[in-house]
Structure 1
Amino acid sequence: MPRARTVNLLGRRTELTVMAEGIAALQAGTGGVFAVEGEPGIGKSTLIDAVATTGEQSGCTVLRGAADQLAYPVPLRLLLDCLDVTQHESGPRPVRPAELPQARWPDPARSSETPAAAAEMILRLVDEACAAAPTMIVLDDIQWADDASLDVCRRLITNATHQPLLLVLAFRPVPRGPGMQRLRTIIHSRDVVPLTLGPLAAEAVRDLIADATGAPPGPVLSELATQAAGNPLYVLELVEALVREGQIRVGQQAEVRTPNGAVPKSLSAALASRLSFVPASATDMLRVAALLGEHFAVTEVSAVLARSAIDIACDVEDALAAGVLVDAGSRMRFRHPLIRRALYDDMPTALRSALHREVAQTLVRTGAGPQRVAQQLHAADLAGDHWTRHWLVETVPVLAVRAPHVAADLLRRELGHREADTRDQAQLSGALAHILVGTGEHEEAVTRARQALASSTEPADRAGLSWLLARALFSGGRNDEAVAALEQALSRPDQPDIWRARMLASLAMFERAGRGALDAADRTARQALTIGEASGDTFAIAYALTDLWLSHSVRRQHLSALACLDRALDTVGTASEHTDLRAYALNARIFTLQNLARWADAEETLRQARHVHLGPDRPDDVTSSITAAVLMFWRGHWDDALAELNSMDQSISAATYRGLRERGPVWLWHGVSALIAARRGRRAMAAEHLREGWLRPPTESAADRENTDFLLVAQAMVDEQNGDHRRALSHLAGLLDRRPGEMTLVHQWLPALVRVAHTVGDGSTAQAAVDACRAEADAEQVPARATAAADWSAGLHENDPVRLRAAADHYRTVGVPVELGGALEDLAVVLAERGDTSAARAAVNEAVEVYGEMEAAWDIRRAEARLRRYGVRRGVRGRRAKRATHGWEALTPTEHKVALLVASGRSTSDIALQLFLTRRTTQTHISRILAKLGMSSRVEIARAAFQRDPGAIPADL
């Protein structure tokens, strides 16, 4: 018989050495990423098991997980298992390692808490683990992982080298689904150490056989072993199959008894042959385990068999001894997926279905999560089963949040079966429609919502379904149909007042966003407000007030708009069920305060909004990052604006609020990025953002048009840089056509339109811009931002330095350098035209200083060229010193604060909370700090900071 198998790493010395160096670096505070790739059986699991053991012996926190080959893997199951986040009555919590704080699975009853929120929880736990001790995360078979887990892995790859985190990912060359393709892309583009395991060399194969048999192989056995093509698993299975069949004799050499002895024809046959040596009771236990997946808990098998863990202990030991199972920490694992598949396929289909259903029922009784139960029911394929349908009706609200795709598939299956009663049909169709709106499958969502309405009889149910139908229609771009659906629902006399108020609030938004019918939207919103107040529904009240905020903002009645928002915020308070609406109102308040030129107040409101968004169970919010970036753009903090924008996942295609998928944030993201790049003279980057931004062309709706102004202005600036001033003018002139109900703040761009119009000699367009700006200023309830823009535009067009100085003084006082620089540049030109060379030089010098702080290289070149025509040059100050690109002097003020907090040992989450940043933005800042300082870890930042100025480092929490 062969020796008891030990961890065998023959032929992997190079890989072990490289990974040992990674562990040593981890202990010194520098993380990293290893990507271990190879075919099945090549030794990936053995290698990473050995590395994990070394990490544990070195004092590192080691978190391990492995994905299962399942048709519908539970979202984030790989990472949740890795962190031991388990479900209890009080909510899931991590139970390993002991240092990790309590964590609760996001509550599905709250609309904001989705798998994205759970992903943020996971990242926070990893962050805190790293702050406590050097941490290893070892993930095996990730080719089977769900996309949500793979997306978290992508973010961990980005963060790993910046903190004491060693991430080890093991996977096969295939399959290559979209999630794995995205992961592979980031692996190839980042500082990841690839470890591709190839076939063992002949010498290593001989050593492996000797280790298994106790003697070096003879020539016949060596020749037979070549069938394994250097795959260590296949080598061992071939040899051990021969041993089990009595075909090996061991002396000075291990040799085949007869050259014609039976040799397994395939790896599957060799692995399956192990089962013939397992007792019948252990085989029964293994069949149940096979239903649970490649990895399973002994307690689950025990519950399904209605036997105690002690009763099945002997069966587990027999399976371990036969090499069918291996110990995987808190769980057991089949030694190879083919063993599990052989057991699984050996069961008749009808028996397998019945067993899956029984397993599902047992999992429910033992309190397992709904995702695990859903997997079993999906595999059972028993549509029309009464118990299954009842469980689904009861559980779908939770399941839809945590595993929407498997929930949708189960619902489709049940709806395809005709035995469900009418109420069940309505509930299931409505639940499916709700899921499909969230996943962006709007056309089917419309169909399912209508099916639910056809079967529903309760007024409250019908009202909710009508609201859902309208959302699906609007999100799918069918605005007129959405309005018609709400109007039809509102015509029913039996509508509950709460739903009537909510539907009216949605209708007001649709009327404004799609049709631009501002007066109608205003009337509808006021009606919603009245009914909402009478029914006491805080959501409807606040929703209607945000509609009125929009109406006032479009009319430039910013004080009235602010009053609506403050009342809405008071109404929702801090109630957790209205967190999304509160966040929306805070972002809107930032916008309104900008319009009132109350920039410091806008920044304070941003901090309040970030406090809401940085709750422990909330994902980073795209809209919050966009809002912050726009604010920072106007305040001249362009590096901070770009940090906000660059922190956003490059795969983003939409932001969601109340189930409405909007493209606006995408256009703003690329528009702000393109405009900063263009003004800094980075034309290639600007062109790339413009290309990406225009991939989704806007419609003529007010909601679309009002989010594309940054893109239009950036496009005009690129045209201007290319010498095509008329094309630039045509882009800017499009802003003059502000459609009914459109929010676009055209006044902030009209001075640039006047300047370009003068360049091409188009006086009529310049005058039109001045008139439009004056109209916006006249609409303001108090003189604010539009009034300053009107002074600027008119001063440039009418050659009036008094009005230009008034505009510049306003921008200097309120602190808007972007507009201050432009007003000073135009003032300098007007003064030069009037022959006041000295004053012109002073104005352009100040403009260039302002531009220089923002690194607006293109603006500086343009200002100098415009003044040069009048013989005005920038005095004798000499060239402005360029900002350092490396070292501590290259850090922005925000980066400097982040660096000091890193040096004090704060985690990414703690830094984000203290500086009112998102976690992703904070990580982006840390990445930039490391690049500018030429460092690779937080430990190096801390060391350098202490050497520079220990007193500047904040005290630890």
Structure 2
Amino acid sequence: MLSPVSAGVSTAPTGEYGPEGVYVMRSGGLLTCSGLRGREAEREELQALIASVARTGCGGLALLQGEPGIGKTTLLAEVVTMARAAGFSVGLGKAEELHRIVPLSSLAACVLHGDQPLLSGDAFADLARNQDQRIWLVERLAEAIEARAGSKPVLIALDDLQWADPLSRFALKQLPARLRTSPVLWTLAGRPDPAGQAEEIVASAARELPTVAVPLGPLSRVAIRQLAEDTLGAAVDERVRDLLDGAGGNPFLAVEMLAGLGGTDSSGDLVPSTLVVGVRGRLRSLQAGTLRFLQMGAVLGRGFGFHAAAALCGQSPATLIPALEEALHTGLLDDDGDQLVFRHDLLRQAVYVDIPPSARKALHREAARHLVAAGHRPIDAVPHVLRGALPGDEEAVALLRRAAEDVLPVTPDLAADLVTRALELAPPARPLWFDVGEQAIVCLTRAGRSREALSTGDRLLACRPPLDVFSRLQAALGGTLWSMDLAEELRRRAESALAVTGAAPQAEAKLTALRALALSRGDDLVAARKAGEAALRAATAAGDREAHVLALCGLGEVAQNAGESAVALERFAALSTIDPAFLPEEIVAHLHMDDFASSGRLLLQAADDAGSMRQAMMLWAQGQHDLGLGRLDDADAGFATMERLEDDVQVPVQQVNARVIRSRIALLRGDRETARKHLTAAQERLTVKPNPGNTAAVRFLEAVHAETDGDIELAVDKIRQVQQEGFFMRWRLLRGWVDSAIRTALCGADHALAEDLAAQARAHAESNPGVPTATGIAAQALGLVKNDPSLLEDSVALLKASPRPLARAAASADLGRALLAAGRRPQAVAALTQAHDLFAESGAHAAAARLQHDLDGAGAGSRRAACIQRPVQGWGALTASEKKVARLIAEGHTNRSAADLLVVSPHTVNTHLTSAFRKLTVNSRVQLANLVRALPDAEPTRR
């Protein structure tokens, strides 16, 4: 634990060592600010940020950076002191070099320590046990911090950021922006980061909240001399001033010289040497047992347990008491009550570098064995393994594999690195090497490093493994190829592996299922279905769960691509029963059946058990649900949130389709500029995942935009391109876009294309006789092609049973225009009015405006009041959902409690809140509450 330094004036040269190795003088019970000599401007800047967070109620972030010993820890301690004085609740932690890969170890130090820990040790342990996704874990941390910030401002301070573990760095990229509307100040201190990770954290926060970068350079000569006078309690002479010039403006080195750790020569003069040389001189005066004890501690880390060091020394703790006392007396170590700590990491490093490299490796290996024997998690021993393992060390390989398995759910990239290192250590072309390689393929794929996974697999296969191993490796590579959208290559490899005898039943079942999955993306869906059913039988016979999941997934894909909604639902429901992670697919399958009641029930279920779900895919399902019900604002927010979460974990699955849908929503609203931006984003993302589905979706969106721009010829050509993508893609149009495509084709005088589209709609309806939307759209398509008002009347009648207001509105609009052309004005006005109101209620203002033009032409009364577009700023600019969220937050709800009331995810609440803050030009929940209190009577806050 770091000790805060309070301001005061020194009158006597008695004191103690404080943070950053600064000798802090005592006087009248107060500690001086001697460690802050030359940092007055930086202190004022940080104090202003503290005051701003406390005053405004919005977040802030500060990054302190500088070389080792430059005063970062001292300044951070001063921030803690100032924040506590301002009424902040403080969480203070320090990242450790040898814990830099242990997931969430760095932030754990912040949330578990301090005057009022943000989480109890038990709560944090429970959080770590039950997490299975980075996003879910970060959201739970955000909720804990947000709850504390509701009663008082919070400071979260982390020292030695350069050693933060990957999961903590991931959280630090998300949390400041996520909590920007709460009074939370993040203060991070670390060395300059060549990899730019600290800068990435600041850049992520800077877009949303005030940030301050505080670079710490060398102190001036004047500041160093003032520091010397503080330390010595008297003016310094010329000899000492000359010595201090050798510190290069580094306060830690200066104080070490002044404190005498550099030793003396025969004349009694201080030795102006480097720190390492100085520490060596000091160590030479120690007992041999003390020196060995310090070296063992240096191997274990800056902070280490007395018993662990004793075990590494091969002695009982009792026999090492004299060594411990001498180490403490020298000022090299402190005892914080829980563990021993080198007073500064530079001191630990100075001791550590004097250990011969070969001895270091052996000691790290022994440290790893001790940690494992003491019951620590494999990941706790991994830092020592990485420093001490040699090629062929099978014990190290086993430990790295176990650690990789443990961390895979939350830090797949780290898991991939660990198992890749294990592969390097394993004896080549031996059974263990192939086993580790198979695990490496899986971990690399999960980490999104598919090309590396494929390269690793091919390298293993090139060594001609036994037939059973060959089959297992090809099965492992199946997931890699599927993630890379290489369906044809997946089919080829699966068939090649199946043609070789000798595979175990489980591997053969997986390969059979993978082949069926690959065939689901082809033109022959009948063959794909047969392959999937055979795969399901093989998986059941082999009793292999993974093969069972793959077979059901393939059968679901086949049914979905064939437009057989009932069959797809059956397959995906069975799949989510085996693996709840596939619940989003089941929800979407219910939507394709027009069963919004079941999809809504499952979304509620998912909200209660969000930890076990794929967060981004659940938001995709929620967005589809809202879109189907005509909730354009909620759907747009859901898809935007989904894309943000996919960006966070760098796994872009549905980003192309989300942008396509959001572009169409913007066009319905009449926001052509935003629609164009979404189109551009979809086109850019298509280059990342250029599969047939994404390609067809973007091509159709390009057709819609071309028609909007008046280029009918280009629009028709784009629709033809979609048709040429093959039968596999047609279901995408038939669920809600076919009417738009037919109108475009007719406008472009391509009657044959319109008839082809109508025939597809009819075939789709025949495959889904119990789905009102499918049967209604088929009748609408035929009515458009034949220009037959009676068929369009049938479509409106059929669609009355559909839960989709936008589909009902489009059919009524087509009927109204056909009736108007036929001279049946009263009936036309009724149909157009119904369509107008449905579009307006959904927020489709542009579509409603076009119908108003038709109504004006028919001489009907104006209905413009129903579709007045929202302003850009102010309360009136908020959507209905944003108003609900704003009122709940203003009442004091957290994101979680507001989400529970509105039956949405906290991520969606955050998206609505972000938009509301932007439109209202407020920066904190306090400002929002003041604004809401000034409004007229409250509106309802629940759906």
Q: Is TM more than 0.5 here?
A: yes
Q: Partner of 1:32 in structure 2?
A: 59
Structure 2 residue 684 is matched with structure 1 residue 695:
yes
**For residues 297-316 of structure 1, what are the structure 2 equivalents within 5 Å?**
297-298=305-306, 300-306=308-314
Matched residue of 2:186: which SS? strand
Report if the CA contact (8 A) 1:116-1:619 is conserved: no
Q: Following TM superposition, by how much is the alpha carbon of 1:361 offset from its aligned partner in structure 2, in angstroms?
A: 0.6
Q: CA deviation at 1:365?
A: 1.3
Secondary structure, aligned partner of 2:126: coil
2:719 aligns with 732
Change (3 A) 1:588 1:401: closer
Which of 44, 48, 73 is 1:45 aligned to?
Answer: 73
**Conserved? CA contact 2:572–2:585, under 8 Å:** yes
Aligned to 2:822: 834
Distance verdict in 2 for CA 1:859–1:487, change over 3 Å: same
CA distance in 2, matches of 1:288, 1:442: 41
Check if 1:665 corresponds to 2:624. no
Match of 2:209, SS state, is coil
Aligned pair 1:921/2:908, yes or no? yes
Higher mean displacement: 825-834 or 404-413:
404-413
Q: Which letter maps to 1:530? A: R
What is aligned with 2:623? 629
Q: Deviations over 1:809-857 (max 9, x none)?
A: 5556534233344334434433333344555555545544444444445
Give the structure 2 partner of residue 162 of structure 1: 181
**More contact order relative to length (CA 8 Å, sep ≥ 6):** 1
- Aligned partners of 1:642, 1:328: CA distance in 2, in Å? 52
**Could you tell me which residue of structure 2 aligns to residue 579 of structure 1?**
580
**2:64 partner amino acid:** E
Distance 1:29 1:101 in 2: 30
Report the Cα distance in structure 2 between the residues aligned to 1:566 and 1:412, rounded to whole angstroms.
36
Residues 648 and 699 (structure 1 numbering): CA distance in 2 closer, same or farther, change over 3 Å? closer
Q: Letter of the aligned partner of 2:599 in structure 1?
A: A
Out of 477, 480, 485, the position equivalent to 1:469 is 477
Q: Residue 778 of structure 1 aligns with which residue? A: 766
2:321, 2:412 → 1: CA distance? 37
Structure 1 residues 671-701: Cα deviation after superposition (integer angstroms, max 9, x where no partner): 2233333443444433333333223547999
Q: Per the alignment, in what secondary structure is the counterpart of residue 712 of structure 1?
A: helix
Taking the aligned partners of 2:894 and 2:359, their CA distance within structure 1 comes to: 51
Does residue 77 of the first structure (1) align with residue 105 of the second (2)? yes
Determine helix, strand or coil for the equivalent of 1:383.
Answer: coil
Deviation of 1:279 after TM superposition, in Å, equals: 5.8
Q: Shift of residue 17 of structure 1?
A: 5.0
Alignment of 1:364-513 (within 5 A): 364-392=372-400, 397-398=405-406, 408=416, 411-412=419-420, 415-416=423-424, 419=427, 422-446=430-454, 448-449=456-457, 464-491=472-499, 497-513=505-521
2:615 maps to amino acid: D
1:524 to 521, 531, 538: 531
Point out the more displaced range, 520-529 or 820-829.
Answer: 820-829
Secondary structure of 1:781's aligned partner: coil
Alignment of 1:553 with 2:560, yes or no, is yes
Q: Which residue of 1 aligns with 2:8?
A: none
Structure 2: runs of 5 or more not aligned: 1-12, 17-22, 25-32
Q: Does 1:715 align with 2:702?
A: yes
Q: What CA deviation, in whole Å up to 9, does each residue of 1:866-905 have, x standing for no partner?
A: 777x676863756854435556555444334444554565
Note the C-alpha offset of 1:326: 6.0
Provide, for residues 710-766 of structure 1, a one-character-per-residue CA deviation record: whole Å limited to 9, x for no partner.
Answer: 433433333334332322232233333352444632122122122223434443433
Q: What does residue 634 of structure 2 align with?
A: 640
Deviation at 1:522, TM superposition (A): 0.9
Equivalent residue number for residue 754 of structure 1: 742
1:589 aligns with 2:578: no
Between 556-565 and 62-71, report the one with greater CA deviation.
Answer: 62-71
1:104 pairs with 2:122: no
Residue deviations 1:5-33, cap 9 Å, x none? 22533444555455456556767893522
Of the structure 1 ranges 586-595 and 13-22, higher mean CA displacement relative to structure 2 is found in 13-22
The one-letter code matched in structure 1 to 2:110 is: C
CA RMSD of aligned residues (A): 4.4
Instruction: Tell me, in whole angstroms, the C-alpha distance in 2 between the residues paired with 1:954 and 1:307.
Output: 67
Give the whole-Å Cα distance in 2 for the aligned partners of 1:913 and 1:277: 65
Equivalent residue letter for 2:95: A
How far is the alpha carbon of 1:364 from its aligned partner?
0.8
* Structure-2 separation of matches of 1:409 and 1:686: 41
- Displacement of 1:380 after TM fit? 1.2
Q: In the TM superposition, what is the alpha-carbon distance from 1:382 to its structure 2 partner?
A: 1.3
Q: Name the aligned partner's letter for residue 525 of structure 2.
A: L
Alpha-carbon separation, structure 2, partners of 1:458 and 1:761: 60
Instruction: Return the offset for 1:353.
Output: 0.8
Q: How many pairs are equivalent?
A: 909
CA shift for structure 1 position 493: 6.4
In structure 2, relative to structure 1, the CA distance for the partners of 1:718 and 1:549 (3 Å cut) is same
CA distance in 2, matches of 1:653, 1:198: 33
- Alpha-carbon separation, structure 1, partners of 2:315 and 2:936: 65
> How far did 1:231 drift?
4.6
Counterpart CA distance in 2 for 1:947 and 1:156 is 30
- Is 1:346 paired with 2:373? no
Q: CA deviation at 1:362?
A: 0.9
* Counterpart residue number, 1:564: 571
Distance (Å, rounded) in 2 between the aligned partners of 1:812 and 1:229 = 81
CA contact (8 A) 1:679 1:857 kept: yes
1:360 CA drift (Å)? 0.8
> C-alpha distance in 2, partners of 1:395/1:190?
36
Does residue 795 of structure 1 match 2:814?
A: no
Determine the C-alpha separation between the residues in 1 that align with 2:645 and 2:40: 39
CA distance in 1, matches of 2:350, 2:308: 21
Query: Which residue of the other structure, out of 83, 87, 93, is the alignment partner of 1:65?
Result: 93
The one-letter amino acid of 2:778's match is: A
For residue 284 of structure 1, what is the aligned residue in structure 2? 292
Secondary structure of 2:731's aligned partner: coil
- Cα drift, residue 351 of structure 1: 0.7
Q: How far has the Cα of 1:245 moved from its partner?
A: 4.2
> Match for 2:779: what amino acid?
D
CA distance in 2, matches of 1:651, 1:945: 29
| Match in the other structure for 1:251 | none
Cα distance in 2 for residues equivalent to 1:689 and 1:328: 55
- Tell me the distance in 1 between the aligned counterparts of 2:580 and 2:866: 51
Can you list the C-alpha shifts for 1:144-189, whole angstroms capped at 9, x where unaligned? 3344322210111112332343322223443233x43432322332
Q: Distance in 1 between matches of 2:936 and 2:286?
A: 67
Q: Which amino acid aligns with 1:772?
A: Q
1:37/1:173 contact within 8 Å kept: no
Q: Structure 2 vs 1, CA of residues 743 and 731 (structure 1 numbering), >3 Å: closer, same or farther?
A: closer
For residues 30 and 768 of structure 1, the distance between their equivalents in structure 2, rounded to whole angstroms, comes to: 60
Q: Distance in 2 between matches of 1:631 and 1:892?
A: 18
Cα 1:801–1:357 change in 2 (3 A) is same
Distance (Å, rounded) in 1 between the aligned partners of 2:648 and 2:485: 14
Residue in 2 aligned with 1:89?
A: none
In the alignment, the residues of structure 2 paired with residue 268 and residue 856 of structure 1 have an alpha-carbon distance, to the nearest angstrom, of: 71
Q: Per-residue deviation at 1:473?
A: 3.5
Secondary structure of 1:103's aligned partner: helix
* Structure 2 CA distance for partners of 1:780 and 1:812, relative to 1, 3 Å: closer
Once the 2 structures are TM-superposed, how far is the Cα of residue 39 of structure 1 from its aligned partner? Answer: 1.6
* Structure 1 gap ranges (5+): 86-93, 248-256, 573-577
Task: Flag the 1:335–1:398 CA change in 2: closer, same or farther, 3 A.
Answer: same
